[in-house]
C-alpha cells in the first residue's frame, strides 16, 4: 500500500483548513479508508479539539521528531472510527521544532500503512506551510468567497506551482447563496475566474459546523447535515468518483447550473 499525502492549506488564516481536514478525514475513514491526520500547526494545535481527541494526547509530533516517542506512540485512534488516527501538534513549541525533511520522513513511514495522510497546514507562507507542503502528493486549497482570502489563495497557488506540487484543487468554504444572489458575496464563478484551478467542493455557511467543532463531532459524520454532505462529496471526489455538485439553494438554479459549468456530471 502506498498512501496519498494530502496537504490542506490556504494562505489566509481562519478560512476553515482545520475544519476541512477533520471532516474530509472523517468522511474518508467512515467510508472504510485508513486515514491519519497530522496537525502541522505547531504551537497553535486545534485539530485534536475538532476531532474530539484533545484529552487523549500523550505524545505529539515534536516528540517523534526529537526521538522521545515512536510514531506509533503519538498516533491517537479515533473513538468512533477505528480507521481514523491523529498525530497531534505540540502546543508549547514553535514551528522551528519541525523541519520539512522531518515531515517527509514521517510521511514516508505512514504511506506504507495508510490510504490517506491528511496534513492540516497553518496559515501563512512560513516554515509551517513549508513543512506541510514538503511531503505532499496533492494540495487542497481552502478559501472563502472574499477578496482577501482569494488573493492569498492565489499567492499560495503560485508557490505550490513553483514547488512543482501542483496543480492544486480548490474548496470554497462558507458560501451563503442568498448573499451571492444579492451581489454581496463573490460567486463561485467569480472565485474560479481568478484562481483558475479545479474545484472539488463547495461548503455552505453552517452553524452546525461550529457546534460540531466545539463538541469534537465533525459534521461529516451527521447523515442529515447539508454541510456534512458537502464534505462527504469532497471525500468521494478525492477518491476519484464523479459526484455532481449539490444544489445549495433549491429555489435558485445557480448551483445546479454551476455543476454543468465546471465539468459535466462532476
Partner 1 sequence: MAVSVTIKGIKEGLLVVVGDGEWEEASRTLLEKLREKADFFRGARLVLQLGGRAMGAADLGKLRDDLGDLQINLWTVLSESALTENAARALGLETALPKPQALPPELPPISPSEDGSVAILVNHTLRSGKSVRFPGHVIVVGDINAGAEVVAGGNVIVWGRVRGTVQAGSEGDAEAVVCALDLAPTQLRIANAIATSPKRRGKADPEMARIKDGQIVAERWKPNEKG
Indicate which of ligand ATP, partner 1, Mg ion, none lies near residue 146 (CB less than 5 to 8 Å, by partner kind). Answer: none
CA dist., res. 111 & res. 107, Å (int): 6
Comparison of 7 and 19: residue with beta carbon closer to partner 1: 7
- Strand boundaries in the chain, DSSP class E: 4-9, 35-39, 76-77, 84-87, 116-120, 138-143, 169-175, 198-204
The answer to whether 20 contacts Mg ion (rule: CB under 5 A) is no
- Binders of ligand ATP among residues 115 to 174 (CB under 6 A) are 122-123, 173-174
Print the binding letters for residues 25-64 with ligand ATP: x by CB under 6 A, - otherwise: ----------------x-----------------------
CA dihedral 152, 178, 232, 45 (to 10 degrees): 40
Q: What's the min distance (Å) between Cβ of 177 and ligand ATP?
A: 13
* Sign of the alpha-carbon dihedral angle for 30, 36, 40, 44: positive
**DSSP of 156-208, one letter per residue?**
HHHHHHHTT----EEEEEEE-HHHHHHTSS--HHHHHHHH-SEEEEEEE--HH
C-alpha cell at 158: 503560485
Q: What's the min distance (Å) between Cβ of 164 and partner 1?
A: 7
The answer to whether 99 contacts partner 1 (rule: CB under 8 A) is yes
The answer to whether 10 contacts Mg ion (rule: CB under 5 A) is no
Print the binding letters for residues 216-245 with ligand ATP: x by CB under 6 A, - otherwise: -----------x------------------
Cα distances (Å, whole numbers) of residue 97 to 49, 94, 128, 209, 216: 22, 6, 10, 31, 27
Describe the strand order of the beta sheet including 76-77 as a list of residue ranges: 76-77, 84-87, 35-39, 116-120, 4-9, 138-143, 169-175, 198-204
Residue among 58, 68, 147, 210 that touches ligand ATP (CB under 6 A): 210
Q: Which of 50-58, 129-137, 216-224, 232-240 is the region at the interface with partner 1 (rule: CB under 8 A)? A: 129-137
Print the binding letters for residues 189-208 with ligand ATP: x by CB under 6 A, - otherwise: --------------x-xx--
Kind of pairing between the strands at 169-175 and 116-120? unpaired
Comparison of 91 and 113: residue with beta carbon closer to ligand ATP: 91
Residue among 7, 19, 136, 233 that touches ligand ATP (CB under 6 A): 19
C-alpha cell at 48: 485534536
CA dist., res. 151 & res. 191, Å (int): 10
Q: What's the min distance (Å) between Cβ of 105 and Mg ion?
A: 23
Q: How far does Cα 81 stand from its chain's mean position? A: 18
Q: What's the min distance (Å) between Cβ of 20 and ligand ATP?
A: 7
The answer to whether 211 contacts partner 1 (rule: CB under 8 A) is no
CA dist., res. 15 & res. 17, Å (int): 6
Indicate which of partner 1, ligand ATP, Mg ion, none lies near residue 83 (CB less than 5 to 8 Å, by partner kind). Answer: none
Q: Using CB under 6 A, list all residues that contact ligand ATP.
A: 10, 13-19, 41, 122-123, 173-174, 203, 205-206, 209-210, 213, 227
Amino acid at each position: 500500500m502506498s498512501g496519498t499525502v494530502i496537504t490542506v492549506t490556504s494562505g489566509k488564516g481562519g478560512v476553515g483548513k482545520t475544519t476541512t481536514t477533520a471532516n474530509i478525514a472523517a468522511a474518508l475513514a467512515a467510508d472504510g479508508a485508513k486515514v491519519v491526520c497530522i496537525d502541522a500547526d505547531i504551537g497553535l494545535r486545534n485539530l485534536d479539539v475538532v476531532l474530539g481527541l484533545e484529552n487523549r494526547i500523550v505524545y505529539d509530533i515534536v516528540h517523534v521528531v526529537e526521538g522521545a516517542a515512536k510514531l506509533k506512540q503519538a498516533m491517537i485512534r479515533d473513538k468512533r472510527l477505528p480507521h481514523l488516527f491523529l498525530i497531534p501538534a505540540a502546543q508549547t513549541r514553535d514551528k522551528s521544532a519541525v523541519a520539512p525533511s522531518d515531515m517527509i520522513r514521517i510521511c514516508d513511514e505512514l504511506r506504507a500503512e495508510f490510504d490517506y495522510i491528511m496534513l492540516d497546514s497553518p496559515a501563512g507562507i512560513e516554515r509551517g506551510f513549508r513543512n506541510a507542503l514538503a511531503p505532499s502528493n496533492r494540495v487542497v486549497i481552502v478559501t472563502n468567497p472574499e477578496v482577501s482570502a482569494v488573493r492569498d489563495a492565489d499567492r499560495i497557488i503560485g508557490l505550490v506551482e513553483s514547488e512543482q506540487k501542483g496543480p492544486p484543487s480548490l474548496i470554497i468554504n462558507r458560501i451563503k447563496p442568498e448573499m451571492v444572489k444579492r451581489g454581496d458575496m463573490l460567486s463561485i464563478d467569480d472565485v474560479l475566474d481568478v484562481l483558475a484551478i479545479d474545484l472539488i467542493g463547495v461548503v455552505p455557511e453552517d452553524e452546525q459546523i461550529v457546534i460540531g467543532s466545539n463538541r469534537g463531532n465533525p459534521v461529516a459524520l451527521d447523515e442529515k447535515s447539508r454541510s456534512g454532505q458537502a464534505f462527504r462529496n469532497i471525500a468521494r471526489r478525492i477518491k476519484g468518483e464523479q459526484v455532481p455538485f449539490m444544489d445549495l439553494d433549491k429555489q435558485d438554479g445557480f448551483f445546479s447550473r454551476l455543476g454543468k459549468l465546471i465539468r459535466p456530471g462532476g
